[in-house]
Chains A and B, each alone.
Chain A
Amino acid sequence: MMAIRELKVCLLGDTGVGKSSIVCRFVQDHFDHNISPTIGASFMTKTVPCGNELHKFLIWDTAGQERFHSLAPMYYRGSAAAVIVYDITKQDSFHTLKKWVKELKEHGPENIVMAIAGNKCDLSDIREVPLKDAREYAESIGAVVVETSAKNAINVEELFQGISRQIPPLDPHENGNNGTIKIGKPPSQAGRRCC
């Protein structure tokens, strides 16, 4: 039996770094017409298989402008994962990313999975943020890190796969609760482990 788990994922990062482009790329590639699309790009969903589960990402985009910063807690509250996006061609955006990480560590949900996406890697000739810096930083905070290009569809899938892998498998005793919907064939009770 496949269980669908709904996972709230929030997108953080400066305005203009391509948060929504990444998600649009992720959601719209291999677009499944059977799934009702959402009304707009601020909130999108996509279901991907992970081990014996299906992960349905409920992706909450946030407005990156400073003036909306104060609203962020409402968006990241209850998230299973956060994708924090910076622009490899803008050092400032990497700095903002660090502020978000700090805020999430302090006030975000416990055990939130953090994924760092250095977007616009197709523009690496004008890069300001070395990949090494991002890797070291990510390692220090235990985050997934990947450089992406929403434009060229590079590493977008991988980013979300990385998140999926970090999501702890469902406690077998909680099957059927917490927004999990069972579908498909009768269970072989074994193997609820993901990855």
Chain B
Amino acid sequence: MASRDAGVSGTAAALETRKGASIHRPGQEELYILSNYGVPGVLWSPAGEMSAWTMGARSLDKRGSFFKLIDTIASEIGELKQEMVQTDLSLENGLGPSETHSMVRHQDSGRSEEKDVKPCPRDSGYDSLSNRLSVLDRLLHTHPVWLQLSLSEEEAAQVLRPQPPGIFLVRKSTKMQKKVLSLRLPCEFGAPLKEFTIRESTYTFSLEGSGISFADLFRLIAFYCISRDVLPFTLKLPYAIATAKTEAQLEELAQLGLNFWSSPADNNPPNPPPPHRPLCSDGAAPASRQLCLINGVHSIKTRTPSELECSQTNGALCFINPLFLKVHSQDLSGGPRRPCTRTPSANGTERPRSPPPRPPPPTINSLHASPQLSRTAAPASMPETATHHQHGNVALLGAKPTPVPPPRLKKQASFLEVEGSAKTLTGSRPRPEPAAGPAGSAGGARTAGEEEEEAAPGDCTRAQPAAASASSSRSPWCGGGRQRLSDMSLSTSSSDSLDLDRSMPLFGYEADTNSSLEDYEGESDQETMPPPIKSKKKRNSSFVLPRLVKSQLRKMSGVFSSFLTPEKRMVRRIAELARDKRTYFGCLVQDYVSFLQENKECHVSSTDLLQTIRQFMTQVKNYLSQSSELDPPIESLIPEDQIDVVLEKAMHKCILKPLKGHVEAMLKDFHVADGSWKQLKENLQLVRQRNPQELGVFAPTPDLVDVEKIKVKFMTMQKMYSPEKKVMLLLRVCKLIYTVMENNSGRMYGADDFLPVLTYVIAQCDMLELDTEVEYMMELLDPSLLHGEGGYYLTSTYGALSLIKNFQEEQAARLLSSEARDTLRQWHKRRTTNRTIPSVDDFQNYLRVAFQEVNSGCTGKTLLVRPYVTTEDVCQLCAEKFKVGDPEAYSLFLFVDETWQQLAEDTYPQKIKAELHSRPQPHVFHFVYKRIRRDPYGVIFQNGEEELTAS
């Protein structure tokens, strides 16, 4: 067998777990479960350290360099071996050795045994089939059945009453405005059902009263199907769902939605499995059965019976340790490094090896080892496969022409383990025991045979094509969502660790610094990735070529970053959706982006351009939060108060990112055309020559070195497409300025001192682009952030730039031109009205008109005047608003450059205003409604100017 050429070495990944604050139950803390096919074993590591190992297969072929990395890892990990338990190698390889039964072995021995392994079918095909789908998979597929957010308490009671104890629903309580888990109780409990509040923190989901929290709702439910924790007993899946054998069946059930409960499909089991499955820490064996695991994930259905048998023997490795998960997610996130030194190093080395989980399209030359084998691909060719599982695969392959899917899973499992990410859940091994019933792998085992599931989380782009191409029963829709979920860890991360991963951009920017930069890198990394289909090919080829290992590393890091948080995964998922023109959302986004790029003429001003983009993003967000194109629904993955934040980030990624270059060019064109570019340039020059005191600065100012640092930050800012990240960099600039001002004096400087210094610094930086940068941020930033710190310093920066632009005329201590003030007001008005009514050009529809009366001086009103309203109409409006008794004696005048012009009846005041605004030099002008007869009160008007301009 070809597979034999590859020596198999078992590599173990040691995963270090720390005790996590989030877990309060000692019993669960250190429980690791290895579940194998017939022989589950539980590993304890009293020290709190757990190790999972994966089998590494060494391939002798050209991919040697690859394996050097693995060897490195293996040696590093070797030190941790004592703690490690080896599962059956054969299991991992996809070979089912009967001996593996024995369970836990040392790695060393495992290796030799591996070779000896013979496939030995252990249980009946039926059993394995029925258990092939993990609980998490079942939950994911059937969320339309049990996730009924809109159900009332009464309706939920109605649905659950006929159900056996343990059956549950998740709905949203309108009273509490929270999600609740409605659980059917057995008769002896008195009440027919009980509701458990689901707590959503900023980062996690958990049951009220429990210390265990989860990254998403699915994981939470999956966990409680296995462990009761704060519940009276474990949750139970409806019989039909628990016993469905294929995803297609689950799909059918899901189609029923709420009707499932009243349909014949929801028949009860002849012998209902006991609802109680206490997870006892030392009772590893029973518990382990329920947690299923891993490995041979492929769908057995397409295989011949003999293949099935082989695959059944594959060992499953499962561990559930929230703490462990947490630690690893931190590492992966690239957030602050944790003290555990080994894990990170292992991660680093391992990365190149781990392939993106996506299955390649069937047509691709799978021979070269794309890490992801399509099922049809020959396993031997895959590098990854080779690494870990070649052995087993080959054996299988030799026997059958059909490709063996498991390799990919194995590899995945192995890399995951090494990474220590919670994802270990990857390969769900079919459980031999039907009795296990609802229990699946807690960790989100995958169903066998589904290529998509195997796909790595980051890589979702591949999933879809694969899904489409796949002949198997899997339904395309589930590809992205399911993958993502299956990749997710059953994480019970404590909020503190998550804080680091998910930071709020404007508050706590210090902590955010790392992550934001990472994001940025990750994003640029992503940019290099071609669209889905191409990317598959590229990836495959990159795997083949050693010289591409490095780039692969980079890509892998991108993949890993996707593990970080549900938030990032969701953003990625939406970004993928945006590229998929088969979805409505994808069409919407793609069409808009290309429309903007191709139609430069359609916007009259830079503000107009930015506003329509902002409006589009807001609308698309609304669409996404209501549409069903996101599956599973965003509410099940993201805590409610974070949904908007996540959607906003996704909008930046799928709309602003592709448009950034175009928008920047357009903004510059507009500014050059209207003369403001030149004006700013000249005035910057002028202001730079002033000394700080002339600008009103009476605090220490940055020296040249600091100014250089600030310029670097500004330049980084220019590279960002996300307005929030830009603002974050702006905040860092401001922070630096404060540091210089305070100069260890301990003195606190308020705006009286800060604004002049900011103005001085901006002038010293001499960056014309700042003007468009600020405009970009001001118009595109999420309106909810405008009142925060970011909004404050953005406002101050805009103010400083306005001062500079008007410096020439105003000189120090002069007022800004009314135009600048007008602009400021209009901006704020627009941005604040935007929050409720997204009306793009509200501000363009208003005209401020002064009313001048001989006796009463001057008063002003802002009137609604649309662009094509004539002066005649405006006069009528004024007569009404100012209550003029003899309108024919009045007319509308334009006061500009110290002169009065009566406007003809057929002119358009808004066009005149626009023309005045577009002049290179700002003009002070006013529309005044006054008596036609020339009168001497122009003087009065001038005195009244203060009032007008202040308005």
Residues of chain A whose beta carbon lies under 8 Å from any beta carbon of chain B:
6, 8, 11, 15-16, 19-21, 23-24, 36, 38-43, 45, 58, 60-71, 73-75, 77-78, 103, 106-107, 175-176, 179, 181-182, 186-187, 189
Contacts and interface: CB of A to CB of B under 8 A. Distances in A.
Contact of B815 (A11, A23, A70, A74): A70
Contacts of A21: 748, 750
Given A39-B731, A68-B799, A69-B815, A78 B751 contact: no
B828 A36 contact: no
Contacts of A16: 752
B735 A39 contact: yes
Contacts of A24: 748, 750
Contacts of B814: 67
Contacts of A60: 792, 795
B789 A38 contact: yes
Interface string B491-511: 000000000000000011111
Given A24-B748, A24-B750, A64-B751, 14 more contacts: A11-B750, A20-B749, A20-B752, A36-B507, A36-B511, A40-B737, A42-B751, A65-B752, A71-B799, A73-B825, A77-B828, A106-B950, A186-B208, A187-B176
Contact of B784 (A64, A179, A187): A179
A104 B787 CA distance: 18
B738 interface: yes
Contacts of B755: 42, 63, 68, 71
Interface stretch (B303-311, B816-824, B882-890): B816-824
B750 A20 contact: yes
B751 A70 contact: no
B250 to A, nearest CB: 33
B870 interface: no
B789 to A, nearest CB: 5
Given A71-B816, A186-B178, A6 B731 contact: no
Contact of A106 (B737, B751, B816, B951): B951
B774 to A, nearest CB: 12
B832 A42 contact: no
B793 interface: yes
A42 B750 contact: yes
Contacts of B812: 67
B738 to A, nearest CB: 4
B787 A78 contact: yes
B178 A43 contact: no
Which residue, of A11, A66, A69, A78, has the highest number of chain B Cβ atoms within 10 A? Answer: A78
6 contacts: A21-B750, A65-B756, A71-B755, A74-B828, A75-B795, A182-B641
B754 interface: yes
A179 B507 CA distance: 14
Contacts of B197: 186
A41 B748 contact: yes
Interface string B717-760: 00000000000000100110110000000001111101110000
A69 B817 CA distance: 12
Contacts of A67: 696, 803, 810, 812-815
A16 B176 CA distance: 49
A73 B950 CA distance: 9
A178 to B, nearest CB: 9
A182 B507 CA distance: 18
A74 B696 contact: no
B206 to A, nearest CB: 14
Nearest to B821: A70
Interface string B636-647: 000001000000
Contacts of B400: none
B899 interface: no
B633 to A, nearest CB: 18
A23 B784 contact: no
Contacts of A78: 786-787, 828, 832
Given A39-B789, A73-B821, A23 B177 contact: no
A53 to B, nearest CB: 16
Contacts of A8: 787
B752 A64 contact: yes
Interface string B660-698: 000000000000000000000000000000000000100
Nearest to B640: A176
B162 interface: no
A74 B828 CA distance: 6
Contacts of A20: 748-752
Contact of B696 (A65, A106, A179): A65
B402 interface: no
A40 B177 contact: no
Given A42-B792, A106-B950, A23 B750 contact: yes
Interface string B771-810: 0000000000000101111001101101100110000001
Contacts of B799: 68, 71, 74
B895 interface: no
Nearest to B733: A39
B827 interface: yes
Contacts of B734: 39-40
B337 interface: no
A109 to B, nearest CB: 9
Nearest to B738: A40
B175 interface: yes
